[in-house]
Structure 1
Amino acid sequence: IRKAKNNDMIKGIYIDSRSMSASMATLAEIRNELVSFKESGKFVVAYADTYTQNGYYLAAIADKVAINPQGSLDLHGLASVPMFYKDALDKLGIEMQIFKVGTYKSAVEPFTQNEMSDANREQVTSYLNDAWSFLRADIAEARSLTADEVDALANQMPLVQPTEFLLEANLVDTLLYETEMKDYLRTLLSLEESKEIPSATVANMKSVTTKTVKKTDNTIGILYAQGNIVSGTGAANIQDKYMVDQIEKLRKDEDIKAVVFRINSGGGSAYASEQIWKAITDLKKEKPVVVSMGDVAASGGYYIACNADRIVAQPTTLTGSIGIFGMIPNMEGTAEKVGISTDVVKTNEFGDFGNITRPFNDQEKQLMQNMIERGYDLFLTRCAEGRNMPKDSLALYAEGRVWTGNQAKEIGLVDELGGIERAIEIAAEMANLGKSYVVFEYPKMRTMIEELLDRSTEDLAARTVKEYLGESFELFMLLHDIRNQDYIQARIPYELNIH
C-alpha cells in the first residue's frame, strides 16, 4: 500500500473483499495504511459478492462500497467459542494434572471443565466488548453512522437481508454487477469502454523494487518474533537459542542504533521466555528497544516484551495474561482400558517422576505447585521492574488476566497505541536519529529451499494425520503439544476463535 501511495502510476486501490482472513489488530494496521493512501488524494473503491465481517471492516473506509445485487454482507459482532475436551479425555482415560497460579489463567480449563469458569467468562466478556467497541467505532466513522446504529444493524443480521436493506442502511453505496463495477473503474481512470484496466496485485506490488536501501551507521533493526515460545535452535516459531543469537548480533552491531522488537506470540515455555528476556535486557543496556505488539503478545509474549524501553500495541492486541501453569497428563486409565500394565524399579524416591502411567502423589504435587509459584513470582518481578511499577500494584493486573491493548494502556502495561510505524518513530527519537536512518529486518528471510527442508516432512505428517482424524485432529495436536512442552508454561488461555 505504501509503495502504491508513492507510485505516480498508481491512481487508486480496488479492494476485492470476497475473502479476508486476519485478526483485528492486523486489520487495523492495514486499514490505517488505506486511510493514509486515501489522504494522498488517490481513490479507494471496494467490491464483493459477499463481504465477510473482516472484509467489510476494511472495505468500509472506501470512497465507494459496492456489492453485487444478489450478494451478502456479514456484520454480527464478536464471539469467542472455546472447545472443552474433559469428557473426551475421560472416555480415553486421560486425567490432566494441573498446577497453576492466577485466577484468570484459564489455559487449562478446556482439559478440566465443560464450560468457562466465572473468572474466564468475565475476562473474555471484557476484552470482546472492548475490541468490538473499537471495530464498531471504525465502521461507524467510515459509514457516517453512530455506534448504536451499527449495533442495531448487527442485531438484524445483515447476512440474511436483501441488498436493498444494505443500501438503505448506508452499509454500501451502490449495487453493481462485476461488469458494471469494471465500467465504473474505467470511468475513474478515464478509459474507453473497450480498454483493459491496467492493474497490479498485492503480489505484483511486493516485487516492485524501490530505491535500494543500504545499511548505514544509522540503522534501526526490526526483530520479528512470531509463534510459540519454545526451547531450541531453529528458526521456526520463537526458539530461545536462535532468538538470543539474533538479539546478540543486533547488540554487537555498531551500525544498529535502536531495535524494534515486533512480537506476535501467545507465549509458551516460561524457561525459554526468561532466556529471551535476559537477552533483551542486555540489548537495552546499549541501545533503545521498542516493542511493537501485533495481534497478540500475551503471557510469555508479554514476558519477553516487558523490559523494553517502550511498548506500543494496537487497541485490539491481546496482551497481559501474566500467569504460569503446568499441565501433565496421567494416562493410567488409558493403559488400563487397552490392557497395558507397568512396573517400576528405581534407585531414589523420585526416580520415576514424570511417568505418565501413574498419577502424582501428594508430595510430588506440592513440589510441582511450589515450582509454579516460584515461576509466577519471577514473572511478576520481571514485569514490575520492566514497567517501573510496585510489584503489589502490578499484581492487581496479573493473575493470568488477558487485556486488550486499549485496556493495557489504561493500566500501564503498554505505553502507547499504534502500529509498527509508530514504534519505528519512537525508536528513532530515542536514538536521536532524526529522519536520517534506514530500517533493516531480522532475521534475514530464508530461501525457499531452506523453508522446504525445515517444514515439508513435518507438514506432510500433519496433513496425513489430519486426513485420518478429521475433527479429532485439534484434540490430538493439543495432546501432542502437551506431551512435548516444558513443564512450566506462560501461555495465553487458549486459541481464540473469533467469529
Structure 2
Amino acid sequence: MKDVNKKSGCWRIGCFSFVVVPILIAVSAFFYFRSSYVLPDKFVLSVPIQGNLDEVHSLSSSLPLLSSAEPLSFQDLLFLFDHAAGDKRIGSILLEIGGVHANPAKLTELRYSIEKMKASGKKVVAFLRSAEDSDYLLATACDSIVVEEGGFLMLDGLKAETLFYTKSLNKIGITFQASQWKTYKSGIEPFVRTGASSEYLEQIGELLDDVYDDYLGYASKRRGISRDSLQAVIDNMALLSAKKAVQLGLADGIASSWALNRSLAGKITGREPERGDDVMVSAERYRDSVEPNYNADGRDAIALITLSGPIYRSGGASGMGVAEGFDEKLLQRSLEVALDNRDVKALVLRIDSPGGDALASADMLEMLYFAAKKKPIVVSMSGVAASGGYMAALAGNKIFAEPLTITGSIGVYALKPEISGLVEKTGLQREVVTRGRYADATSLFKPLDKDAYDKFVAASGDVYHDFVSKVATSRKMRWAAADSVAGGRVWSGKRALQAGLIDSLGGLHDAIREAQILGKIDKTKKPRILFYPERKSWMESLAEGDFSGFSRSVTIALKQRLIHELVPEGQSSSITAFYDMLMVSGQLHLIAALPGEVVIR
C-alpha cells in the first residue's frame, strides 16, 4: 500500500518538476518582462526617426520567423511626444534622425510636437549622421544639432520627378486610352504623354513653392541665420562636412554616437556613466510602459479611425497587391464597433490616403454620413487627403489639415490598356465568340471603338459630377464654385483653407481636442483613445484559426519584401500606385487618386 501511495502521490519528484517548475518559469518570465516596463526616476529618452513615417504600422508586413525591423509609426511618434512633454522623469530627449523620406505635412506636425516638448522644459537634441534636407529640417526644431564625427549634410533643395512610360510601352506594343476629368487630373499623363502638361507643371510648382518657402523660412529662423544665407548654402555648396556645418551655424557640435550618449547620461547621473546605469530609455520601451491610452482619465473615449493607404473595393484586387490599403469592409467594421461602444462619445477620422477606387470612396462616404448622425466626426488630414481620400473627409463636422497637407485633387480618371501591338509582335492568335454587342468591348486585346469609348468617357464624367456635387453639398458651395476648385487641382493645406475645402489648420491632437468638445467630454479630463481598425498580425490570425488572413498577410509581406529589394525605396510607391491597374486586374477602373506625391528627402 505504501508503494502504491508513493507512486501515485503528487509530491514525488517527477510530478513536482512537471507542475511546479513551469509555474516558476512563468512567474520569473512575468517579473522579467514587467521589469522592462518599470522606468528609472530620471532618464534620457532616445527616439529614432527614420524611413517613410508610415501613418500606422502594417502588421502584416512582417514575415513569420523574421524580424520586420519596422520603425515607429507616425502616430506612435505623435502620441509618444505628447506624453513625454508632461513626463517629469525625462531629463532630455535624443532624436536620432536619419533617412527620413516623408510628406512635408508630417514633418511640420512632428516639428510642432518637438516644440511642445521643448516648451515643457525638456532639452531636445538632434543627432544627425549623413543627413539630407528632410532630416535637417526636422532637426532644426530641436534645441541643438550634433553631427556625427565624419558625417555630412547634403542640403541640395527640392525636386519633383515624374517618369513617362508612353514611348517605352509603345515599343513593345502596349498603348492606353484615357478619360480625364478634368485637365488638372494628371494621373493619366505618364501613360499617354511623353512629357508633363502645363497644368501639371503649374500645380506641382505651387506645391514646391509652398514647401520650399516653409523649409527656408523655418530652418533659417530656428538656426538664427538669414534666409538668403541658407539658400546660398543650398545653391552653392549642397554637400557640407560636419566641421563646415558647425562653422556656418547650421549645427552646434560634432560627436560620435557613443560620446553623445555618455554626455547626455552623465548630465542625468551627475557623474561619469558606469556600466549598468539605466538612464538611456529607448522609444519602444517607453511606449510600452505608458500604453495603453497614455494615462487617460475616466471611461469616456474617442475612437480614432485611421484611413491609410490606397482605397480599394472590398474583395477586389487589393488582396493581390504589394501594398496594404483600405476598403469598405474595414471601415464598416471600425464604425460598427465605435458606434456600438457607449463609452465612445466622438470619432476622429485620420486620413493619410491619395484616394483610389472612385466607387469604393463613395461607398465609404455614405457610411461616414450615417455614422455622423449618431456621433460627431472630426477629420484630421495627415500627409495627404486627396481624391477619394478627400471625399471621405466630407462627412466630418469639422476638417483639420496641416499647412502643407496635400489636399483636393477632386477629379476622376480612367485608363484602358490595349495590347494589340504586343499580340501582333508575338504572333498570338485569338478567337472570340460573344453574345451581346459590348461583350468584348473592354478586352485588353483591342482598343475601344468610338461608341464604347464615348460610354467610357461618359461614365467618368458622371462620377466626376457626382463627386463635385458631394463637395458642394458638404462645403455649402454652389456647384460652379465647387467645380472651380476641383478639376483635379491639388492644393496645399493653407491654400485649401482659402479655397473653402477645409475648416481649420491643425494636427491630430487639435482634432482630438475638437472631438472632445463636440462629444461633450469633460475638458478637465483626458479621454481614452481607442484605435481602429484593429489590425491583426500573422501570428494573431494563425492563433485564431484565420488561415486565410494568415495566408493573405504572408503573401503581402513577401511581395513587399521583394519589391523593396528590387526597387529603390524612393521609387517603390509610384510603382505600387499603378500595380493593380496594370499588372493584376486588366479591368476598367474609375480612379479618384492623386497622380503623384511630394516627398522631402
TM-score, normalised with respect to structure 2: 0.77
Of 296, 302, 307, 1:220 maps to: 302
Q: 2: distance between equivalents of 1:469 and 1:79?
A: 20
Amino acid of the residue matched to residue 438 of structure 1?
R
Q: Which residue of 2 aligns with 1:19?
A: 99
Q: Which residues of 2 match residues 63-462 of structure 1 at below 5 A?
A: 63-159=143-239, 161-196=240-275, 198-210=279-291, 218-232=300-314, 236-435=324-523, 436=525, 437-449=527-539, 450=541, 453-461=551-559
Conservation of the 8 A alpha-carbon contact between 1:3 and 1:205: no
**Helix, strand or coil at the partner of 1:208:** helix
The residue identity in structure 1 corresponding to 2:82 is R
| Local SS of the residue matching 2:196 | coil
Query: CA deviation digits over 1:21-58, x for unaligned, max 9?
Result: 43222222222111111111121112223222222122
Deviations 1:116-155 (A, max 9, x none): 1111000000011112222322212211233333322221
The code of the aligned residue for 1:456 comes to V
Q: Is the 8 A contact 1:292 1:423 kept in 2?
A: yes
CA distance in 1, matches of 2:156, 2:566: 34
* Bigger Rg, structure 1 or 2: 2
Structure 1 residue ranges without an equivalent (≥5): none
The alignment partner of 2:407 has SS state of strand
The answer on 1:481 being equivalent to 2:567 is no
Following the alignment from structure 2 to structure 1, what is the Cα–Cα distance between the partners of residues 493 and 342?
33
Q: Matches of 1:230 and 1:246 in 2, distance apart? A: 16
Cα displacement (A) at 1:344: 2.0
Q: Is the 8 A contact 1:18 1:55 kept in 2?
A: yes
For 2:298 and 2:312, the matched residues in 1 are separated by: 33
> What secondary structure sits across from 1:26 in the alignment?
helix
CA distance in 1, matches of 2:522, 2:296: 18
> 1:359-391 CA distances to partner (integer Å, 9 max, x unpaired)?
100000000111111000000001111111111
2: distance between equivalents of 1:210 and 1:330? 52
The amino acid of 2:591's aligned partner reads: Q
Q: Which amino acid aligns with 1:273?
A: S
TM-score, normalising length: structure 1? 0.92
Q: For 2:201 and 2:87, how far apart are their aligned partners in 1?
A: 48
The residue number in structure 2 matching 1:41 is: 121
Same amino acid, percent of matched pairs: 27
Secondary structure at 2:350 match in 1: strand
2:101–2:600: 8 Å Cα contact kept in structure 1?
Answer: no
Partners of 2:490 and 2:326 in 1: how far apart? 21
- The RMSD of aligned alpha carbons is 2.6
| CA 1:476–1:214: 2 relative to 1, 3 Å | closer
> d(CA) in 1 for partners of 2:326 and 2:403?
24
**Offset at residue 9 of structure 1 (A):** 2.6
Say whether the 8 Å CA contact 2:330–2:533 is kept in structure 1. no
Q: Distance in 1 between matches of 2:343 and 2:149?
A: 57
CA distance in 2, matches of 1:99, 1:147: 44
Give the conservation status (yes or no) of the 8 Å contact 1:229–1:272: yes
Q: Deviations over 1:289-329 (max 9, x none)?
A: 11101111101101111231111011111110000011110
Q: CA shift at 1:176, angstroms?
A: 3.2
CA contact (8 A) 2:310 2:354 kept: yes
Cα 1:183–1:111 change in 2 (3 A) is: same
Q: Deviations over 1:408-441 (max 9, x none)?
A: 1111111111110000111111222232433211
